[in-house]
Structure 1
Amino acid sequence: MSERDFLELDERFNRCVRRSEKVQQLFTGCRWAEGPVYVPAGRYLLWSDIPNDRVLRWDETDGSVSVFVPSSNYANGHTLDREGRVLSCEHGSRSVTRIEHDGSVTTLASHYQGKRLNSPNDVVVKSDGSIWFTDPAYGIDDDFEGHAASSEIGACHVYRIDAQTGECTIVADDFVRPNGLAFSTDEKRLYIADSGVTHLKDGPRHIRVFEVHGRELRGGEVFATCTNGMFDGFRFDDAGRLWAGAADGVHCHHPDGTLLGKILTPEPVANVAFGGPQNNQLFICATTSLYAVRLPVTGARRPAAPSENESTRSNP
C-alpha cells in the first residue's frame, strides 16, 4: 500500500484496498464540495459546491465536469429514490426536494408543525420509500452555506417523511448537530453522525447507531468516535463496513466499530459515495476537490422493496 494514500491500522484493511490503486483527483475548484450521488442510468456523479450555490456533474464516459444546477438553493446532500429521481437537501430553501423525470422540482418537506426547518443536510431513502433526513443549522448559521436566520424549531433533529402520506415526523431529537446518515445493509439499523463539536466545546464527534422499528428508532449508542476532526457523511459497503469522511481522509470501520484504516487525502473529507459500473469506485468530496479511488469491495446494494404484507407488519 502506498503510504501516501492508505493507512493500515488493522490487517483486515488489506482486503478493503488494493496496493496498485491511487487516489485520483477528478476535479478541483470548489469552495466546499459535498453530497455526492452516483446516477447509474446516466453514468455520472452529482455533487454540491455549497458556497458557490451549484450542483456539479462529472461524466464517467469522458471525465468532463459541467454545472448540473447553476442555482441550487445551496444544496448539500443528495440521494436517489427507488425510481431513480434525485432528492436534495437545500440550505437556501430550508427544504428537501425531488427532481422529477420531467425536470420539475417537488418540495417534499419544508416545515414541521408549521415551523420552517433549519437547513436539511443529508438524506437517505429506505426500501419502503420513506425518506429520512438530518436537519442541523449549518445553512442558517451564516451566509456562507445558505442564508443567516434564526431557528424556528429551536433544535436540530432527524426526520422521517412517510412514503404514503408525506407526513414529516421527528425520529430522533437528542442530537447537537445531526449530520450524515445511512442505513445498514439490511436496514435494521440507522447510523447517524453528530458533528456537534462545531458548536460545543468537547461536543460530539461520533456516529451513533439506532435500531429501526417501523417508523421509530430505538437505542442510539455510540458506534465510533472520530480520531481526527469529526465525522460528516458516510456510506456502507456490501460487507457492512462503514466509510466515513473525516479531517484526514476517509475512515473505514468494521461492522463491530473497529477502525480498520484510512484513505488519506490532502484535504478534509465531507462526504463519500460508491459508484461506477461495478459499484466499486469510492467518490470522495474533500473541500475544494472531487477525488476517487477504485476498491476491491463494492458499495451496499439497496434491499428490495417490502411486499404489502411486510410493509404493514413493519409499520403498525
Structure 2
Amino acid sequence: LDLPDTVQMTNAGTGPYNGSLLLVNSGRGPLPPNLVLVDPANPQNATVILDNFFGRQFNSLHNAKIHPTSGNIFFTDVAYGWLNHFRPLPLLPNQLYRFDPNSGSVRAVADGFVLPNGLAFSQDGSTVFVSDSGMAGGFIGNNQTGPATIYAFDVDPQTESFGNKRVFSYIDGGVPHGLQLDTAGNLYAGTGDGVEVWNSQGTLIGKFFLGSSSSEMLFIGNGRLIILAETKIYMVSLAAEGLDVDYPQGSSSVSEDPSGC
C-alpha cells in the first residue's frame, strides 16, 4: 500500500470494517496518531476517521478491535511513542477508548492501566480481554514489579463501558501483546518467548516456544495461525479457528479470516 503521510507508524490493523481495512497508527513527531480506513480495492484510498480526543492528540494508538454486535471501534492508547523517542510527552492517560464512527462520539471506557496493549472480545461481545505490558518501560527500562497481565472485563450491553475487572492471567516471561480468541473461547497472546494459550477459565493449556518474543498473531482460516516473531514469520497448523473480527460479521472479502492484530 502506498499510504499518505498522515499514516505514520502503523502498529496494528483489524477488520474488514464495512469492507475497508482498519489501520491503527502510532503517529510520529508532531504527526498525530490516528485510526484510518483503507479501501482494499484500487486506488486504495486512505481515510482518517479519528485523530484526536476533543482537540488533544492521542499518545500512541496501539491496538484495536471492532465490537462484534455494535460495530463500534475500541482501541488502546499508550505512551509507547514517548517511551521509544518518536512522540512528544503524553497529553492523556494511558487508557482504552470507544469510538462510534456513525456519530463521531469518542469516550474512555477503561483506565487504571500502566501500559495497555492488546484487546479481544468474546464471540458475543459480553467480555473483553485487555493486556497490560507495564513491566516493559522502553528507554526507562523494565520494572519487574510492573504488570505483565491480561485482565478480563464485563462489557455493559447498553453503554459498552467496561466493568468487573479481574485478573485473567499473569505472564511468566516477558509481557503480553496482541490478543486473539478462537471459536472454543481459548485466548492467545504473544509473550517473551513465543505464544501462550489459555482456556476460558484462564488455565494455561499450551505454548508455542519460538525462542524470541511475539507481538502479534492472526488466524487466516482452515486451521492456520500466523505468528509474527521479531525477524521471523511462522505459520502454524492447528485444530482451531479464529473468531470473525470483520464487521458486519461474515462479510469479509479481503481474506478467509482477517483477524485483528
Matches within 5 A, 1:16-165: 73-92=8-27, 93-100=32-39, 101=41, 102-127=43-68, 128-143=70-85, 147-153=86-92, 155-165=93-103
Q: Which has the higher contact order (CA 8 A, sep 6+)?
A: 1
Amino acid at match of 1:290: I
1:295 maps to 2:238: yes
Matches within 5 A, 1:249-260: 249-260=194-205
Asked if the contact 2:66/2:245 (under 8 Å) is kept, the reply is no
Asked if the contact 2:67/2:125 (under 8 Å) is kept, the reply is yes
Root-mean-square deviation (CA, aligned residues, Å) is 2.1
Matches within 5 A, 1:260-275: 260-275=205-220
Bigger radius of gyration = 1
Tell me the CA shift for residue 267 of structure 1.
1.7
Structure 1: gaps spanning 5 or more residues: 1-66, 307-316
Amino acid at match of 2:73: I
1:285 maps to 2:228: yes
Question: Cα deviation per residue 1:209-247 (whole Å; 9 max; x = unaligned)?
Answer: 111113211111110110111111110010000011001
1:170 corresponds in structure 2 to 108
Question: Cα deviation per residue 1:121-143 (whole Å; 9 max; x = unaligned)?
Answer: 00101132100000011123234
Question: Cα deviation per residue 1:79-123 (whole Å; 9 max; x = unaligned)?
Answer: 014423111111123111111355221212211122110010001
Cα separation, 1, equivalents of 2:8 and 2:56: 19
Asked if the contact 2:135/2:147 (under 8 Å) is kept, the reply is yes
1:195 corresponds in structure 2 to 133
> TM-score, normalization: structure 1?
0.69
Tell me the CA shift for residue 266 of structure 1.
2.6
Amino acid at match of 1:262: K
**Counterparts in 2 of 1:281 and 1:182: CA distance versus 1, 3 Å:** same
> TM-score, normalization: structure 2?
0.83
Cα separation, 2, equivalents of 1:69 and 1:285: 22
Question: Cα deviation per residue 1:139-176 (whole Å; 9 max; x = unaligned)?
Answer: 23234xxx2311112x2010010142121110011111
| 1:218 maps to which of 163, 173, 177 | 163
Tell me the CA shift for residue 301 of structure 1.
2.9
Structure 2: gaps spanning 5 or more residues: 138-142, 250-261
Tell me the CA shift for residue 262 of structure 1.
0.3
1:57 corresponds in structure 2 to none
SS in structure 1 opposite 2:81? helix
SS in structure 2 opposite 1:140? helix
Asked if the contact 1:159/1:171 (under 8 Å) is kept, the reply is yes
Cα separation, 1, equivalents of 2:106 and 2:247: 23
Cα separation, 2, equivalents of 1:75 and 1:118: 14
Q: Which has the higher helix share?
A: 1
Asked if the contact 2:16/2:246 (under 8 Å) is kept, the reply is no
Cα separation, 2, equivalents of 1:304 and 1:203: 35
SS in structure 2 opposite 1:139? helix
Q: Identity percentage over the alignment?
A: 30
Question: Cα deviation per residue 1:268-300 (whole Å; 9 max; x = unaligned)?
Answer: 110111004x2x211111111211101111112
Cα separation, 2, equivalents of 1:229 and 1:91: 22
**Counterparts in 2 of 1:120 and 1:304: CA distance versus 1, 3 Å:** closer
